[in-house]
Amino acid sequence: MKGKILVAGGTGYIGSHTTVELQKAGYEVVIIDDLSNSNLEVLDGIEKITGVRPAFYKWDLKDLEGTRKILQEQPGIDGVILFAASKAVGESVKLPLKYYRNNLTTVINMLELMPEFNMKGIVFSSSCTVYGQPDPQYLPVTEEAPIKPALSPYGNTKQINEEIIQDTIHAGAPFKSIILRYFNPIGAHPSAEIGELPNGVPQNLVPYLTQTAMGIRKELSVFGDDYNTPDGSCIRDYINIVDLAKAHVIAMDRMLENKSDQKVEIFNLGTGHGVSVLELVRTFEKATGVKVPHKIVGRREGDIEKVWANPEKANKVLGWKAEVSLADTLESAWKWQLHLREKGIQ
């Protein structure tokens, strides 16, 4: 065994794929998740892929005492990867206190517990949302681009969390941190045993698209074709979920093996390529042979026109690179949607 890792939010979309990659790399994984946006069947999927069922605790990390008890039951955890968070942008505007309470308390509790249990590092899942709409000279976005005022309470929690981690480490906390700023994670594990399971009507592009292709939704609304982009639709950097998961393993190795003198490091995780909504729809149709009924509608409030990563720092310093093509990634998302149909889940 390489070491023992706590994956907070490990049954969620990114957490489950990361658990698989950690186990494949030889780590032992303990998951804590309150199942507020995931379910226990995810553990079956992880076990099918890796042959190992991670230890699991259904628990709310906002409860400090209970979390401490779990950590006492699981001695020897070397590091934590913190995914557990509420993440629906629209909901955060309506329920800001839910977002501040969930996303801030969880981080504060974890940082408080880490020294007690001698944990050496925390990988934190942040988001490109911290850059807002970068000014043209900052595209593609590097980690040095200015942080813009958040457009939603969700985005604000990511910014505040980054600051909480940095302040705690600057104050002398005995651990390291790697903050990963994700661009737009999409797709599913190629086995289709795990993937994204949106709650209710999907808010994000790819789950809505695959549900439309399946006939669950009538048509996909493309939010705006009058942006200042080549085809008028918004541009994002869509990153394969397994590629993204692998970066967490590298980040954890880096901290546990003391490969860097820096106590806090920040990395963008993206492909470096911007793709428009309409291009993505076309790529999906070509890759799967399945048509996606879609129509252009008005802009979605709060949407950023265009953003994509400069991932050079992660490429050079971590030795990590996004590898899976957009077409293969969209095919994996489709395979996962087919798997959900087989299981009778819509």
Active site residues: 154
Alpha helices (H) in the chain, listed in sequence order: 13-24, 41-50, 64-73, 89-94, 96-116, 153-170, 205-214, 241-256, 277-288, 312-313, 326-342
Q: 158-187: which residues touch ligand UFG (CB under 6 A)?
A: 184
Q: Is the peptide bond before 140 cis (omega within 30 degrees of 0)?
A: yes
Shortest Cβ distance from residue 70 to ligand UFG (Å)? 27
Shortest Cβ distance from residue 44 to ligand UFG (Å)? 25
Interface with ligand UFG, residue 141, by CB under 6 A: no
Asked if residue 89 lies in contact with residue 154, where contact means CB atoms within 8 angstroms, the answer is yes
Residue closer to ligand UFG (CB basis): 29 or 188: 188
Q: Which of 87, 189, 254, 335 forms a contact with ligand UFG (CB under 6 A)?
A: 87
Asked if residue 240 lies in contact with residue 320, where contact means CB atoms within 8 angstroms, the answer is no
Q: CA-CA distance, 23 to 241, in Å (whole number)?
A: 16
Shortest Cβ distance from residue 207 to ligand UFG (Å)? 8
Tokens encoding 277: 């909504």
Residue with nearest beta carbon to ligand UFG: 234
Q: Which of 68, 263, 300, 321 forms a contact with ligand UFG (CB under 6 A)?
A: 300
**Cα distances (Å, whole numbers) of residue 41 to 10, 110, 133, 271:** 12, 26, 37, 30
**Environment class of 280 (CB within 10 Å of its CB; exposed 0-12, middle 13-18, buried 19+):** buried
Residue closer to ligand UFG (CB basis): 159 or 221: 221
Q: What's the number of CA atoms in the CB half-sphere (13 Å) around residue 244?
A: 30
Interface with ligand UFG, residue 335, by CB under 6 A: no
Shortest Cβ distance from residue 96 to ligand UFG (Å)? 15
Residue closer to ligand UFG (CB basis): 120 or 236: 236
> In the chain, what's the furthest Cα-to-Cα distance?
56
Residue closer to ligand UFG (CB basis): 27 or 267: 267
Closest CA to 124 of 144, 107, 141: 107
Interface characters, 89-118, with ligand UFG (x: CB under 6 A): x-----------------------------
Shortest Cβ distance from residue 67 to ligand UFG (Å)? 25
CB neighbour list of residue 78: distance below 8 Å, 6 or more residues apart: 3, 4, 5, 119, 120, 121, 256
Q: CA-CA distance, 135 to 272, in Å (whole number)?
A: 17
Interface with ligand UFG, residue 133, by CB under 6 A: no
Interface characters, 203-232, with ligand UFG (x: CB under 6 A): xxx--x-----------xxxx---------
Residue closer to ligand UFG (CB basis): 177 or 212: 212
Q: CA-CA distance, 16 to 55, in Å (whole number)?
A: 13
Tally of CB atoms within 10 A around 223: 17
Residue closer to ligand UFG (CB basis): 299 or 341: 299
Q: 47-66: which residues touch ligand UFG (CB under 6 A)?
A: none
Interface with ligand UFG, residue 24, by CB under 6 A: no
Q: Which of 127, 177, 229, 271 forms a contact with ligand UFG (CB under 6 A)?
A: 127
Interface with ligand UFG, residue 236, by CB under 6 A: yes
Tokens encoding 337: 């949607």
Shortest Cβ distance from residue 224 to ligand UFG (Å)? 7
Shortest Cβ distance from residue 258 to ligand UFG (Å)? 30
Residue closer to ligand UFG (CB basis): 220 or 330: 220
- Residues forming the site for ligand UFG (CB under 6 A): 87, 89, 127, 129, 184, 203-205, 208, 220-223, 234, 236, 277, 300, 303
